[in-house]
Amino acid sequence: MKLVAKEYVEAQDSDHPGVLILSHFAGAAAQLSNALLVNPYSPDDIAEAIECALIMAREERIARWQPLYENVCREDVVWWRKQFTKALAHD
């Protein structure tokens, strides 16, 4: 499981967070749906997301970042382990 996107969310300054641009093919995309999700094979998608992130108002950046941060904190490694072992027990 790639954790770089989650590490990025965790590392942000809560007063001036950056914008996460993430492939919608990434496993974390479902969990981090407030990111700008792009098709990584589309240069136009990527360019539009970068432009959007660069001009995004601080209020919108915070509004996107806050649920990402709360999700990363709530669905941590302990949560993941519990989900994984629960799934194993039911199979």
Report how far residue 55's alpha carbon sits from residue 52's, in angstroms, rounded to the nearest whole number. 5
Query: Mean pLDDT throughout 18-45?
Result: 96
Q: Are 23 and 39 in contact (CB under 8 A)?
A: yes
Would you say domain 4-90 falls under CATH 3.40.50.300? no
pLDDT higher than 80, residue 2: no
pLDDT higher than 90, residue 1: no
Reading the block at residue 14, the tokens are 């809560």
Report how far residue 67's alpha carbon sits from residue 19's, in angstroms, rounded to the nearest whole number. 12
Give percent of the chain above pLDDT 90.
77
Q: DSSP readout, 31-49?
A: TTTTSEEE-TT-HHHHHHH
pLDDT higher than 70, residue 54: yes
Model pTM score: 0.84
Containing 86, the helix (H) or strand (E) segment is helix 77-90
